[in-house]
Structure 1
Amino acid sequence: MEKKERAENNRTLILKPKEIDALRKRLVTENNIQGCSLINKTVHGDLLKMLKYVPDYFADLIIIDPPYNLTKNFNGMKFNSRSDNSYDEYLNSWFPEVCKKLKDIGSLYMCGDWKCTSSLQRVIEQHLTIINRITWQREKGRGAKHNWKNGMEDIWFAVKNPHHYYFNIDAVMMKRRVLAPYKIDGKPKDWDEGKDGKFRLTYPSNFWDDISIPFWSMPENTDHPTQKSEKLYAKLVLASSKEGDIVFDPFLGSGTASVVAKKLRRNYCGIELNEEYCMLAEKRLQIADTDSAIQGYADGVFWERNTLNMQQKLSKKVTGKTCEKSNKDIAME
């Protein structure tokens, strides 16, 4: 990856030369995958080749962030925009095989933008039952001079069995600031007041406006061009899996799905073609051994941007120990 000049307070995670050999040895490759347990592993290689080694009915939850139908350079590996029919063919070349890895009561989420979301819907409907479409706000939308700025992305939620799948809405409650507090007999109705303001807990809808795209001041940030935030994936993992379940990501990138699964006490497996991204994923997984913080998620709830007190102390268990960590390093969204 090309070296970049970075500001002194830039927290983007990078690979240091002295780390590379040890991180590379942690990867599962075509050379050592035979007979290897893939639980809690990062698999480096071509998706279709490596999928053959993943057992059918392997995962409780699958999260997919495939290349969108856009021309994009992924650290020297270029994906080119194509016609809708050609993109549909691309999806169909691997999606049916990925579905075989999902347990009968499992759930699958697939990410996309406005340009490719209809293709995603078509391919998903051929193999699974769609339960919902989540739309989340990219607070840093891609600009355009002759069109509306693209400030939204979709996540399709689908299952194998629409009558039997796990979903825990109470695990993904939102904590929102109350702007017009209402009282009955002088007592707050559905809200609480603390030193930081008035808040209420609410059930989340399928529109999410509290997500921050990883950027240079966030410790989870890498140089991956389409990295999803840990907070975004934490909602999917908490809602659609239990502790100890297996979360599988066939387009792992720099590791967000695996890292979030580990921080939330799930098992994980990810496949990624680019070796440098695989090593970044492994580095992030090592960091998660001693830091299970997820920016924007604290005290068992998801907070709106810019509402989580930076001085609040969050007690959390990390590898069997209890530690105190300031939310200055945890969440400010």
Structure 2
Amino acid sequence: MQDKKRAERNRTITLDESERLQYGAKLITLTTAMEPEAIINRTINQDLFIALDYLPDEFVDLLFIDPPYNLTKTFNGKTFSQMNNEQYTQWLDGWFSRIVRILKPHATVYICGDWRSSHSIFEVASKYLHIINRITWEREKGRGALSNWKNASEDIWHCTKSSDYKFYVDRVKVKRKVIAPYRTEEGAPKDWEDDTDGKFRLTHPSNLWTDLTVPFWSMPENTDHPTQKPEKLLAKIILASSDENDVVFDPFGGAGTTAVVAKKLNRRYVGIEIDDTYCCLTEKRLALADSDSSIQGYSEGVFWDRNTLRGQNKASKMTE
């Protein structure tokens, strides 16, 4: 990852050479079968197809998967090449069929994809899991296309190992501004609150998420990873489908958002990532979480709608 000249207000998390050594020393690779406690709260710097053989059985409560989508994309010099649909489905099945054994009986799985890959994800996941729902979230970043509709959404498949699973709706309600503030006959607010920041209503979460912001240069969670997910997205998933001290596992860890949010929310974590730079960024972000556990867009136990003052990260002093 080459050094870039950055604007003065750019808050992207980077590494210097001393940090590469410092955080690189914390990484592990697997060469023999491991017990859960030996890998929990660790970053595994290894090819998933190799590491899979050494993972313990039934130790994961929540599995979050953000695999390469079926398009040609470069990740810090490593290129994933687009395949035909059948090949991509086979590639997914090649590791997914082996990863199911690490799930506890009542585990939950979330799998990310775009419109090209979603049908393959459904085909593979439905062979091994119960599919509960498909979430679509607005990925508003990007300048658009001249000869097609701008691709501004991605999918997340919500799956479970069994029909008995965790889901806590009250933890993931969204606080939205009230457009039509109805009142009772007595004049009291009807299903909304009137406070110093304005009129808001707590709403039940749906499978359409429009309150997320893709990390960018002035956000303190941003890295140079090209497909980094927002911390707020992971917070929704982790709070909805796990309890404190549960194990959250990410086999395509990237720059560590899953592990970082798990730590901030008092869960245990394990991540696998093949690229050592991204692994070191993960460890740096985990260290930063010791002094700042805030999650932009989530405060006071609720998720705030995009562009609301109370939903901003207090440290950044900026709206989403």
Q: TM-score category by the smaller chain?
A: over 0.9
1:236-315 paired onto structure 2 within 5 Å: 236-309=237-310
Output the aligned Cα RMSD. 1.7
Per-residue CA distance 1:137-196 (angstroms, 9 max, x = gap): 01114622111100110000000112x111111110110000111011211100111111
| Count of aligned positions | 318
List aligned pairs for 1:103-114, cutoff 5 A.
Answer: 103-114=104-115
Aligned to 2:314: 327
| TM-score of the pair, normalised by structure 1 | 0.92
Q: How does 1:12-51 map to 2 (within 5 A)?
A: 12-30=12-30, 37-51=38-52
Q: Distance in 2 between matches of 1:166 and 1:34?
A: 27
2-side partners of 1:33 and 1:165: how far apart?
A: 28
Asked if structure 1 preserves the Cα contact closer than 8 Å seen for 2:262 and 2:269, the reply is: yes
Residue 2 (str. 1) matches residue 2 (str. 2): yes
Residue in 1 that maps onto 2:180? 180
Deviation at 1:33?
8.1
Secondary structure of 1:132 counterpart: strand
Name the aligned partner's letter for residue 227 of structure 1.
Q
Change (3 A) 1:34 1:158: closer
* 143-152 or 56-65, larger mean C-alpha shift: 143-152
Residue equivalent to 2:217: 216
Q: Distance in 1 between matches of 2:30 and 2:167?
A: 35
Match of residue 125 from structure 1: 126
* Distance in structure 1 (CA, Å) of the matches to 2:143 and 2:107: 33
The answer as to whether partners of 2:32 and 2:54 remain within 8 angstroms in 1 is no
1:145-160 to 2 correspondences below 5 Å? 145-160=146-161
Q: Do 1:296 and 1:331's aligned partners in 2 also have CA atoms closer than 8 Å? A: no
- SS of structure 1 residue aligned to 2:39: coil
1:69 touches 1:115 (CA, 8 Å); kept in 2?
A: yes
Identity %: 54
Stretches of structure 1 lacking an aligned partner (at least 5 in a row): 313-325
- Give a deviation string over 1:15-63, Cα, whole Å, max 9, x none: 1112111101100124698677010000000101111221111100000
In 1, Cα distance between the equivalents of 2:30 and 2:143? 37
Give distance in 2, aligned partners of 1:330 and 1:30: 41
Unaligned segments of structure 2, at least 5 residues: none
Q: Distance in 1 between matches of 2:114 and 2:153?
A: 7
TM-score normalized with structure 2 length:
0.96
Contact between 1:295 and 1:330, CA under 8 Å: does it hold in 2? no
Question: For the residues of structure 1 that align with 2:318 and 2:65, how far apart are their CA atoms?
Answer: 25
TM-superposition CA deviations, 1:99-129 (whole Å, max 9, x none): 1111110000000011110011000001001
- 1:155 is paired with a residue whose SS is strand
Specify the alignment match of 1:91 in structure 2. 92
- Correspondence 1:34-73 to 2 at 5 A: 37-73=38-74
